[in-house]
Amino acid sequence: MKNLTKCAVAAALAASFGVASAAPSVTLYGRIDTGFAYTHTMDAPKGSSSDQFEMTSGMYSGSRWGLKGSEMIGSTKVGFQLESGFASDAGTSGQGGRLFGREARLYLSGAWGEFGAGRMGSPLSTCGSVSKYWDFDPFEGAFTDAGLQGTQAFTWNRYDNSLYYVSPKFAGFEAGAFYSLAGLSKQETTGLAADDHYGAVYIRWDGSEAKAILGAESYYVGHAKEATTKPNRNQYSVKAAATWTPGKGPFTLYAGANWFKNYSQFSDVIYDTPAFDDSGRGMEGIAGFIGATYDVGATSCKASFQYLDGKNKGAETGADGDYKRYVAAVGAHYRFSKRTSVYGNLSYAKGTGALDDGETTTNRVILSTGLVHKF
């Protein structure tokens, strides 16, 4: 009886000081997205059409596994997140074979906000845990053409050697900044001016029925690349978007726009990179979108329309300079549970000018379906 009493007292003391003595938490998590896609390309190289049916991975959300954890030190949380991408249809590593190519960050957070460092997508991208932009897209930055990467710049890029800060929220507002010392170059060199750099700032507001974001980003092309990379002028982008859910009901409206200058290629090489002259100038344009989602029970119905209008200021002599692109998409996602869902989407994309010259593969119809399981 005495030993039982001692055990009870020890258990009570342990419970009383559990917060101070608790071990840091580490969580293994991930998701697998496997499906099928049919693609009909309307202007394949040399003006022919083509059809492709394939099993593929990560159409909605990239297949991944990761580790994340945190520890409280006083009033400050110290945390980390390591995330590795892979192709579930072939078992191969993603992001060029990097072990933690999707994300690798260490951060501190408290009443003053959050500060972190490592590899990640920027706040104005649609990828990664630092993103503040993905939920302004009805298709959540996913799928080849249906998401905003169908017309917008800088949406799928991840940057190495990065720093970020997110402010605490005040009356629904938060602000943040992001800076990469090497851009897409993986590693800094011996001189700052020789390296690529990327920076972004944003302000976001979240209300009870609506939310909005405004941000700007710039990519500095380092001197070491100026002799070999065209265009080599600094790239700029401004983004704005908003959503509205009337009465917090099942219907949500989306709208937004993106202006960019001197861009060298569209997101994740979705479009074939055009040819540039020696002027150092790149592509300029403005993209706009509208969309909606409607939830019926466990089903979320989605639709969007995107429009892009721009000009390749560095087009080679005789090449098309002006271009336009239209993307229309519809889809439905059904949730079997919190962990498992199925999706089906149909998108139509058509370009003109430089995006319809008989050499591109960007004018297409894509029908995709797949299953996602989270763990």
- Look at residue 273 in the predicted model and tell me its pLDDT: 67
**Confidence class of residue 48 from pLDDT cuts 50, 70 and 90?**
confident
- Look at residue 18 in the predicted model and tell me its pLDDT: 41
Least confident of 125-129, 206-210, 318-322: 318-322
Least confident of 27-31, 244-248, 265-269, 315-319: 265-269
Sorted by sequence, the CB contacts under 8 Å of residue 213 that are 6+ apart come out as: 132, 133, 136, 202, 203, 204, 205, 239, 240, 241, 242
CA of residue 70 relative to chain centroid, distance:
24
- Look at residue 198 in the predicted model and tell me its pLDDT: 95
Sorted by sequence, the CB contacts under 8 Å of residue 7 that are 6+ apart come out as: none
The more confidently predicted of residues 263 and 114 is: 114
pLDDT exceeds cutoff 60 at 252: yes
CA of residue 85 relative to chain centroid, distance:
14
Do 178 and 130 contact (CB within 8 A), yes or no? yes
pLDDT exceeds cutoff 70 at 345: yes
Sorted by sequence, the CB contacts under 8 Å of residue 26 that are 6+ apart come out as: 67, 68, 69
Tell me how far apart the alpha carbons of residues 297 and 295 are, in angstroms, rounded to a whole number: 6
pLDDT exceeds cutoff 80 at 302: yes
- Look at residue 72 in the predicted model and tell me its pLDDT: 95
Least confident of 94-103, 194-203, 331-340, 353-362: 353-362
Least confident of 6-10, 61-65, 228-232, 288-292: 6-10
Helix then strand then coil, % of the chain, to nearest 5? 10, 55, 35
Domains annotated for the chain, with CATH where assigned, are 46-52+123-374 (2.40.160.10)
- Look at residue 111 in the predicted model and tell me its pLDDT: 97
- Look at residue 321 in the predicted model and tell me its pLDDT: 85
**Confidence class of residue 19 from pLDDT cuts 50, 70 and 90?**
very low
pLDDT exceeds cutoff 90 at 86: yes
Tell me how far apart the alpha carbons of residues 283 and 323 are, in angstroms, rounded to a whole number: 10
**Confidence class of residue 24 from pLDDT cuts 50, 70 and 90?**
confident
pLDDT digits (tens, 9 = 90+) for 282-295: 889 999 999 999 99
Tell me how far apart the alpha carbons of residues 343 and 299 are, in angstroms, rounded to a whole number: 9
DSSP letter string, 134-153: GGGSTTTT-TTTTSGGGT-S
Q: Averaged over 199-213, what is the pLDDT? A: 98
pLDDT exceeds cutoff 70 at 67: yes
- Look at residue 5 in the predicted model and tell me its pLDDT: 42
pLDDT exceeds cutoff 80 at 158: yes
Helix (H) or strand (E) holding 13: helix 2-16
Q: Mean pLDDT over all residues of the chain?
A: 88
**Confidence class of residue 134 from pLDDT cuts 50, 70 and 90?**
very high
Q: Averaged over 262-282, what is the pLDDT? A: 71
Query: Percent of the chain at pLDDT above 70?
Result: 89
